[in-house]
Chains A and B, each alone.
Chain A
Amino acid sequence: MIRLKIALLFIACATLSVQAQTADEILDNYFENIGGKESLNSLNGMKMKGVGKQQNFEFPIEIVQMKDGRQYFSADIQGKQLKQQVFDGTVLWSTNFMTMKAEKSDAEQTANFKLNTNDFPDSFMDYKEKGYTVELLGKETMDGAETFKIKLVKEPLMVDGKEEDDISFYYFDTENFVPIVVESKITTGPAKGKSSKSTMSDYQEVDGIYFPFSTSQYIDGNLVFTMEMENMELNPEVDDAVFAFPEQMTEEK
């Protein structure tokens, strides 16, 4: 169990007197405050269970993310497990809602997804080694709170055959150094060019590491989806089969 050290407390207080911070200092504080880089590095996977809320429609969800990039998101709708954004290491696939059968994502989306498989458990971990760049843009009020605005640039994406930068802006609360908002521009699909925002809250500790248990997603400022986690398991035992792309989706009872 990693505890928040008293020293940190003074660091946090001292920031109120607004001394110059670099992006790396902010990130170091962040990692220290949520449990330390070591703990994060030792993670092999996470399994989260909770509810998804879309307008007032509510359904159970389950998310598994593995260090090697494999993942799935599953929603339980009328007792049916509908998997979306499943990655088995090679294939990215989702369940078609009409046929309830698995279908592969297109090659470009899959290639872009693969670029993110080095982001577990956090995009900022070892960002330099990954070739990412990070820049502190200053302070900004987000969600009413004073935050540090940090720009993260990851590997460029391919969008409809053209290369585009993958830029997002993270807002770290100046009081506790955890990110509370992430903003980016939607790069593909019909909402291309519109703004996307995620807010994170309800940080809770799991085996010494803090995670946001509540995440809300907004498009153009409008709330579209909230995930509220009920429990989170670190380093879960997961059967390989759950990620595998079924050539013909097996019948579920």
Chain B
Amino acid sequence: MKTLSYLSLLFALVLSVPGQAQQTLESVSGKALFGDMKARHIGPALMSGRINDMEVHPTNSRIIYAGTAGGGVWRSNDAGTTFNPIFDEHCQSIGAVALDPNDPDKTIYVGTGETWTRNSVSVGCGLFKSTDGGSNFNKIGFENSERIANIIVNPKNSNEIYVAVLGALWGDSEERGVFKSTDGGATWSKQLYVDGKTGCADLAMDPSDPNTLYASMWEFRRTGWSFESGGKNSALYKSTDAGKTWNKIHKGFPEGNLGRLAIAVAPSNPKVLYTVIEAEKDERKGIYRSDNAGESWEQLNNDFGITVRPFYFSRLSVDPRDENVVVKAGYSGSISRDGGKTFKNLGRMHSDIHDIVFSIKDSDIMYVGTDGGVYRTWDGGTTMEIVQNLPISQFYHISLDDAKPYNVYGGLQDNGSWYGPSSSTGGVEARDWNSVGYGDGFRVLKHPTKNIIYSEMQGAENVWRYDADNRLVKTIEPLPKDDEVKLRFNWNPPMAVSEHQPDRFYMASQFLHRSEDMGDTWEIISPDLTTNDPTKQNQEDSGGLSMDNSGAENHTTIFTIAESSLDEKVIWVGTDDGNVQVTQDGGKTWSNTTANITGLPKNTWCYHIEASVFDKGTAYAVFDGHTQNDQNPYAYKTTDFGKTWTNIISEGVEGFARNIQEDYVNPDLLFLGTEFGLYITMDGGKNWKKFTNNMPAVAVHFIDLQKTTNDLVMGTHGRGIIIIDDISPLREINGEVLNSNVHFFTSKATPINEKGGFSGSFGNETEFVGSSKSTGVQLKYFLKKRHTFGKMSLDIKDEQGNIVADLAPGKAKGINIVTWNANKKLPKTAKGKTFTFGGFTAPKVPAGMYTAILKKGKDTFEHTFELVYDEANNLSMEDRKIKNDITSQLYDMTQDLAYLIYEMDEIIQSAESNGNTKTAEKLNSLKETLVITTGDNYVGSAEPQLREKMAKLYSKVATSYDKPTASEMENLKVISSRFETAKADFAKIKNKYLKKQPLELKTFDEFLESK
């Protein structure tokens, strides 16, 4: 191995290059540290989440794309039956997906930033292009576009691309309008721009003439307390010179200001255009048609389905084969088959329809994007069928309980409130989830000691107290006590339970409300803690041209409540208009600490306060400024009840932050959720590392840490619940560990999983199944360098020094996790014609101390850990001993029989070659009673023989949680005695034969070792 030593020399030299040797928390990247710590997704997908844009492949009807509001881009290769994500590394809010019609398999454009501009909408991060069918995407501009409505590639020239930028929702921006590239996206020129408040909401190209374009411009603005759609700048434009000049095409349009407009060109007859218009007068709103390519327009219909909430539903889709079939997105979705004169609703599905596309093959087939995922229809829109594997649920908030496995509770955008298990046999399936609230769901909290669940809907219209054992429900929202004082609840109203008083329940409007009897009686324990700015309280005027007072814009409200786990009299409150208030006397007196925070713009929304578990004067506050058009992250720490606050955001954190979670053990370990993912610091905020292992760049709205499992659980707004199991290794990461070649992380006594159970996987072919937590024993170690050259092995040794398992070690730089199911190796079974299925059982090792032996090149590293019995199984130690002894006895018998058959086969072969047919015949007939020598592994199987009977009993005893039954012990006697007889019969023949014919046979140990 001379070469290897040269290689080692090389590595030694490489490592000695200055600056390479010492790793620090500053120098190490998240990707080089987190290793095998990997997020797992549990959905749910049964209610799915909001879809922004659907796209079909122009020539392959099997390929469908869904651009989602907060969960990235998903592609189906099977005509919409199942979908896979293809855009996890980038921001997950999608405005438009487009394929180059000249190269649709390879060239994909993704414009980010949702365009249905509700209050909770996420933000985008530019335009992306893939030239390899979606394996890799590169950003090609529009960094500050925030929202992209359309991308159109000239079907005759792939280099010519038009992009409709809707632009910023919360403030002025010049990066809006229609842009064009003539070099495949390398450079862009602005073709149509109106002002900093008006963006391009829809763009269409005449399919017969790529120089003819239609663009709808929309004046719009949202603030934390209002929404405004429409103005003098909203208009529909046409260009016939490839975007150089644009003219308004308003002949026949309503008078006065316009709002959001959609535009669609009928592919089968490009003279036919449809637009849907938001206008000042209700009677002039609705769908308009032009039969002369926009020269003049005629209003056709203004039903509810056509005019409802234009900012949320605007899309028009025309049947590619029939210009008179037009579909309009809306509350239910509407379809016309008479050219837009009359409409009927699409079939029953989740309400709030955002996009509809027709199959390229058959207009009976449509794909529809809704607030509740993608639906398919096979009958022209009458019957809708949901796609069951899009786990893009949009959580606002989550909480956990202490069940085993623990449950996750949370509320979803337009999809109610739910709880479900964090782990389940066979994976977390749709049927594992339980509905606990209607409407939009937000916070869901479990009573600390009783099986009672609190949930709510928007604006605290209903706050439910659900007795889950008895299925009894009542509403308990605080009601006004004074006719003069209106309670202002946020759209997403805060609630909290207490660790000190299990029946205590908090809610907040502009006041903090406290109940000591689970919501039956309420007491206001604060003054108005907000700025109470009356200019931010006119929600009935919200909406612009279409009134939209849903409660989503309620402002000057309390948004977060945190009672200290160390002192029930210390309560923190954060408001949506920027106040952080604290009481140290249970609400008698309050102090507003906002003025003590330096560097925070005025009125920045306080999204979360985390009261420290280490010290009652310590807390973290996270602020979200994006509704003031400020996308910087803000998180501060106080250690003196808010007298002073320190910024804990350092370089590298991307996206505005909404939540922070403190570790329960290491005060320097913090988890930060931002609009673009999860960040982790191990030094109190000096360095933040982005966590990207199976963790999409999704908006993390809420984080919780489960105390007994140390699992980090995230409620994401677009990818459901995402869990990182056991973050405890991160507590140990420091300069010393980072510079150890191998460091085993501390492991607490691990129960050997003895649980069984059943899980029918019915429906899982097309249904999302969340991954469960590993039930194995996990060995976790840090490697300073990736192991690439030379041997590496990981064996497990018991207290007697026996190697009971050899595992496949992880070799990544950073944290490695190797899972062992606490099984010994399989017994070596006798070779027969077919398998003996009992022989595929590996017995569990007994509880005790074990040592992991990691060999890496010449070095050996050891780590001792303890395995304990599963406390769910209360088998006595005496009974366990019996079980283990009998299992071992049968394990050994199985291997003894295997050896006997080996010897027998060798002698048969020898006898046959020597012409000793008598011995061969005798042995063959004995063998037929010991192992199966005919048949197959399925319905052609032969009668079981001794091997099969022995293996069956072995497997039965080994896999039972219990000690062997009387019946099993009786069966053991029968099998043992049969085996003894066989051994004696064989010994006679063998001894006789070997006396005449010497034969070299492996010893028992050699046989076991042989492969």
Q: Name A residues whose Cβ lies closer than 8 Å to a Cβ of B.
A: 1-4, 8-9, 12-13, 16, 49, 51, 53, 55-58, 60, 76-80, 97-100, 137, 141, 143-145, 151, 162, 164-165, 167, 169, 173, 175-176, 178, 180, 185, 190, 192-194, 199, 201-205, 208, 210, 213-214, 216, 221-223, 226, 228, 253
Contact = CB atoms under 8 A, between A and B. Distances in A.
Given A167-B132, A226-B808, A228-B808, A202 B792 contact: yes
Contacts of B6: 3-4, 9
24 contacts: A4-B3, A13-B13, A16-B20, A53-B808, A57-B842, A141-B31, A144-B32, A144-B33, A144-B812, A145-B32, A145-B788, A164-B105, A165-B133, A167-B135, A175-B11, A178-B788, A180-B788, A193-B77, A202-B788, A203-B789, A208-B3, A216-B808, A228-B808, A253-B909
Interface stretch (B255-263, B539-547, B715-723, B824-832): B824-832
B133 A214 contact: no
Given A202-B791, A221-B693, 9 more contacts: A53-B807, A56-B805, A60-B1011, A80-B835, A151-B136, A167-B132, A176-B10, A202-B811, A208-B3
Nearest to B814: A144
A141 B786 CA distance: 11
Contacts of A173: 786, 788
Contacts of A228: 808
Contact of B808 (A175, A214, A222): A214
Contacts of B253: none
Nearest to A228: B808
Contacts of A205: 1, 3-4
A89 to B, nearest CB: 28
B958 to A, nearest CB: 14
A78 B133 contact: no
Contact of B812 (A98, A137, A143, A202): A143
Contacts of A201: 786-788, 792, 811
Nearest to A55: B821
Nearest to B817: A223
Contact of A97 (B29, B829, B937): B937
B433 interface: no
Contacts of B905: 253
B625 interface: no
Given A56-B823, A100-B937, A167-B135, A203 B788 contact: yes
A221 B105 CA distance: 25
Contacts of A53: 807-808
B1011 A49 contact: yes
A204 B936 CA distance: 40
Given A4-B6, A98-B936, A175-B11, A204 B790 contact: yes
B7 interface: yes
Given A53-B808, A56-B805, A228-B808, A145 B813 contact: yes
Contacts of A192: 77-78
B836 interface: yes
Nearest to B836: A78
Contacts of B825: 58
B899 to A, nearest CB: 12
A160 B842 CA distance: 39
What interface size band does chain B fall in? 35 or more
A58 B1011 CA distance: 11
Given A190-B765, A202-B791, A99 B13 contact: no
A203 B10 CA distance: 15
A1 B3 CA distance: 9
Given A165-B106, A167-B133, A222 B771 contact: yes
A164 B831 CA distance: 44
A16 B14 contact: yes
Nearest to B78: A192
Contacts of A162: 60, 62
B790 to A, nearest CB: 7
Nearest to A185: B135
Nearest to A187: B77
B84 A194 contact: yes
B834 interface: yes
A77 B78 CA distance: 36
Contacts of B936: 98-100
B772 to A, nearest CB: 11
Nearest to B939: A98
Contacts of B940: 99
A80 B932 CA distance: 13
B398 to A, nearest CB: 23
Contacts of B521: none
Contact of A99 (B77, B814, B937): B937
A60 to B, nearest CB: 4
B820 interface: yes
Contacts of B35: 144
A213 B813 contact: no
Contacts of B135: 151, 167, 169, 185
B2 A3 contact: yes
B938 A13 contact: no
Interface in B444-501: none
B694 interface: yes
Kindly list the 7 A-B residue pairs having the minimum CB-CB distance in the complex, ordered from nearest.
A144-B813, A79-B831, A141-B31, A226-B808, A60-B1011, A193-B84, A145-B786
Contacts of A213: 791
A160 B96 CA distance: 29
A41 B328 CA distance: 63
A55 B840 CA distance: 13
A9 B13 contact: yes
Interface in B765-809: 765, 771, 783, 785-792, 805-808
Nearest to B829: A78
B786 A4 contact: no
A167 B133 CA distance: 10
B872 interface: no
A98 B935 CA distance: 10
Nearest to A169: B135
B453 to A, nearest CB: 32
Contact of A143 (B105, B771, B786): B786
B725 to A, nearest CB: 13
B50 interface: no
Q: Which of A78, A169, A176, A199 has the largest number of chain B CB atoms within 10 A?
A: A78
A57 B826 CA distance: 7
B831 A80 contact: yes
B238 interface: no
A4 B811 contact: no
Contact of A58 (B78, B789, B806): B806
A210 B771 CA distance: 37
B10 A9 contact: yes
Contacts of A221: 38, 693-694
A76 B4 contact: no
A193 B75 contact: yes
A144 B786 CA distance: 7
A99 B831 CA distance: 16
A169 to B, nearest CB: 7
Given A165-B133, A180-B788, A226-B808, A175 B1011 contact: no
B750 to A, nearest CB: 15
Contacts of A176: 7, 10-11, 788-789
B696 interface: no
Contacts of A57: 826, 840, 842
B877 interface: no
A3 B579 CA distance: 69
Nearest to B35: A144
Interface string B82-112: 1010000000000000000000011000000
Q: A77, A80, A145, A194 — which one has the most chain B CB atoms within 10 A of its CB? A: A145
A118 B735 CA distance: 49
B791 A204 contact: yes
A98 B939 CA distance: 9
Nearest to A163: B105
Contacts of B849: none
Contacts of A210: 3, 789
